[in-house]
Structure 1
């Protein structure tokens, strides 16, 4: 009889692949996520539920109702911020999940996706809460497998994996110290193969499974490599290996990290945040010997894992990935500053344009003020991740309105020396590009 698996966090980079791949391997796999993106194909077994609001009773009921045999926990957040609480996700949820497993009345194995590295090097809220979860699982007396994957290479890209691709596709070189950081990778297929191997074992037979009922394994390539090696492998797959490169000054990287932390409070989940840089510089290391010996899995080598990331789609994504932040930031500045200048710096000049085209005097001030406030509002809407799409749509509509209104009321503005209205067209195109790039998954 096929084991039934619940993947918690099935919309994430690892969780989505595991859900689909385990189904392909013949397992009945239920994918659980707070929300699946529009681009993620869902089956009848996929569930959208408010995971973080579910208590132990609700979780236990789900495990019983779905007759779950294996729970795979892929939930994780990088850094505290609006909508992201490392302690709530890594520690508190795991505590409720353990209670649910114990009270479900079923024999369930928990497979928990954690992080590699030496515990003594844990410094961030991300790593510290991950270790807290590990300790709770180890003390729970339930069958478990704590998997500590290295740098995950998957067909999709998100966060750090997207950043590595971007660095490989652009003429940028890391500092020597950063390039030499240990960075052992693992193909996401190996994580799925490990879970399939664990799920195929009978957790009810404790004697037969004494070796695997309670394990903590590092999942990664055995041969040590560096961050520079991983980026180099992607460069070879993209055909950019022989490009001339500019070494990225450390102060620019530090500025980028601070800006990324600031952007996180606006809802943008940049892989360049301070936690990511601290975790990156500690390295990704471990010893996969115990995992390889017990499961018999031979890890996919770096070159083979990266080779598939060489399609034109991958190259376009990698080249455009960092441009997304520049596009959004430039549009925020464009709309906010243009409205601010018209209202507070050059109000007389802005109002004078209307007066010179014989607008009724009673309408000059209201139109000048309202359009300036509208421009600033559009900038603010674009700045926040949750409202960015709304702001972009309103920006496009406002730009078309300005162009149409000028064509009817003040057609001579189309041939004014600085070409302000002519430049509105490229701005509309840029907003359309931003809309096309908004999806993260």
Structure 2
């Protein structure tokens, strides 16, 4: 028997990347599929990749891809509709084409779903996931559906990143959704379950939650993460009103249209409010390896200095982006509101009027453009770099045409440097997952 082949959809995601590593370690030849080449190379530069947007794959393309494949692991998904995501396209249409292409082939489909999915669920995420699960269970020949609860991993993304950040708040531990009950699962246990399923060690037709046995109140879970990270006990425990959380969710939804996949979107908050619960019984009865409890999971994830720095950086980054957007937009608008005064600053220093007007109007428009562009996820890094370059141009121009401004008691030129440092921080910290 030759080397068995596996295809992992969403291979550079939190769960997908763990599945790719585990399957490769188990002797499978693994191909990952995802739409971002840069993210794929960061996740597994030596792996085989098909760089495609999964919903765009046709039935014929699926058939060619699956011709010599033994197992397909669908770890792709999106939390909420937005500028970059279409839930029906990824959770329903793509699954339908995959199942149609797999008809008549000797392969197993392993669907990574989510605990709590149902067609009557309050969020589109759970409803569309349930529709995809139903397509597989009704039409696929050999299939297993695994439904993990909140996945904890060495990597931090989405809800797990927010959990780390909330635990890292200095001096305070806000009481958010105190009634919410959450169960967790170690990403390694999910990957182990996928390998066992890919090997045929569990029967076809199994639908099973992957979860620890016990649930935790959400504030207690945040407290456990805080203790694991090594932060001192909080001094304040303010209660966050539900209306405030709802407003934050709606704001995060709006940012989703600019490409931001915030874990504070209403889908995530609704899921937390309703609780993330699962039943480990079906998986245990299928002779699957039991999923470890939270304490054991955290013991496998050492909280290093890098972990703490990430948690604090995750808190600071959106503040830095918002600050830069406000600063640059106001700078441009104030200049455009009274350009004559800005032109006078240059013409009084022997700068030709045409050049002064060009520099003032052009600079104001550039300021406004960069301030808006940094809010669009796709352009955040280029905009931050543009802010650095334009700030440097302003500094050079001031030295050339208005060196006396450097001696101004209010320090207008010296104050450019903190803004440049903030833009440099955003440029360095922003990356694709």
Residue 359 of structure 2 corresponds to residue 372 of structure 1: no
> Offset of 1:246 from its aligned partner?
4.2
Comparing 424-433 with 231-240, greater Cα deviation is found at 231-240
Q: Distance in 2 between matches of 1:227 and 1:281?
A: 9
> Offset of 1:174 from its aligned partner?
3.7
Counterpart residue number, 1:152: 151
Counterpart residue number, 1:423: 415
Cα-to-partner distance string for 1:155-213 (whole Å, 9 max, x where unaligned): 1010001000011111443436x1331111000111111111112228xxxxxxxx711
Counterpart residue number, 1:219: 210
> Offset of 1:309 from its aligned partner?
4.3
Matches within 5 A, 1:45-64: 45-64=48-67
Q: Distance in 1 between matches of 2:146 and 2:286?
A: 13
Residue 291 of structure 2 corresponds to residue 299 of structure 1: yes
> Offset of 1:41 from its aligned partner?
2.8
Comparing 219-228 with 43-52, greater Cα deviation is found at 43-52
**Which structure 2 segments of 5+ residues have no match?**
none
Counterpart residue number, 1:74: 75
> Offset of 1:12 from its aligned partner?
0.9
Q: Distance in 2 between matches of 1:234 and 1:297?
A: 25
Counterpart residue number, 2:228: 237
> Offset of 1:269 from its aligned partner?
1.2
> Offset of 1:229 from its aligned partner?
2.8
> Offset of 1:376 from its aligned partner?
0.9
Q: Give the 3-state SS of the residue equivalent to 1:300 in structure 2.
A: coil
> Offset of 1:144 from its aligned partner?
0.9
Question: Contact 1:381–1:388 (CA<8 Å) still a contact in 2?
Answer: yes
- Which of the residues 366, 380, 386 maps onto 1:388? 380
Moved over 4 A (4+): none
Matches within 5 A, 1:201-220: 201=200, 212-220=203-211
Q: Give the 3-state SS of the residue equivalent to 1:7 in structure 2.
A: strand
Q: Distance in 1 between matches of 2:208 and 2:265?
A: 28
TM-score normalised by structure 2 residue count: 0.94
Question: Contact 2:117–2:127 (CA<8 Å) still a contact in 1?
Answer: no
> Offset of 1:248 from its aligned partner?
5.0
Residue 329 of structure 2 corresponds to residue 336 of structure 1: yes
Q: Distance in 1 between matches of 2:326 and 2:240?
A: 25
Q: Give the 3-state SS of the residue equivalent to 2:32 in structure 1.
A: strand
Cα-to-partner distance string for 1:266-300 (whole Å, 9 max, x where unaligned): 11111111111111111111111110221341212
Question: Contact 1:121–1:282 (CA<8 Å) still a contact in 2?
Answer: no
> Offset of 1:230 from its aligned partner?
2.2
Q: Give the 3-state SS of the residue equivalent to 1:68 in structure 2.
A: coil
Residue 14 of structure 2 corresponds to residue 13 of structure 1: yes
**Which structure 1 segments of 5+ residues have no match?**
203-210
Question: Contact 1:194–1:295 (CA<8 Å) still a contact in 2?
Answer: no
Residue 315 of structure 2 corresponds to residue 289 of structure 1: no
Counterpart residue number, 1:26: 27
Q: Distance in 2 between matches of 1:72 and 1:120?
A: 22
- Which of the residues 21, 32, 41 maps onto 2:44? 41
Counterpart residue number, 2:251: 259
Q: Distance in 2 between matches of 1:10 and 1:326?
A: 31
Q: Give the 3-state SS of the residue equivalent to 1:295 in structure 2.
A: coil
Question: Contact 2:20–2:30 (CA<8 Å) still a contact in 1?
Answer: yes
Q: Give the 3-state SS of the residue equivalent to 1:330 in structure 2.
A: helix
Q: Distance in 2 between matches of 1:30 and 1:143?
A: 20
Q: Distance in 1 between matches of 2:42 and 2:310?
A: 16
Counterpart residue number, 2:94: 93
Q: Distance in 2 between matches of 1:3 and 1:236?
A: 43
Question: Contact 2:5–2:69 (CA<8 Å) still a contact in 1?
Answer: yes
Q: Distance in 2 between matches of 1:44 and 1:281?
A: 38
Q: Give the 3-state SS of the residue equivalent to 1:291 in structure 2.
A: helix
Matches within 5 A, 1:153-168: 153-168=152-167
> Offset of 1:121 from its aligned partner?
6.0
Counterpart residue number, 2:193: 194
> Offset of 1:326 from its aligned partner?
0.9
> Offset of 1:303 from its aligned partner?
1.4
> Offset of 1:220 from its aligned partner?
0.2
TM-score normalised by structure 1 residue count: 0.92
Cα-to-partner distance string for 1:130-160 (whole Å, 9 max, x where unaligned): 1111111111141111111010001101000
Counterpart residue number, 1:109: 108
Give the 3 Å change call, closer, same or farther, for CA 254–349 of structure 1 in structure 2: farther
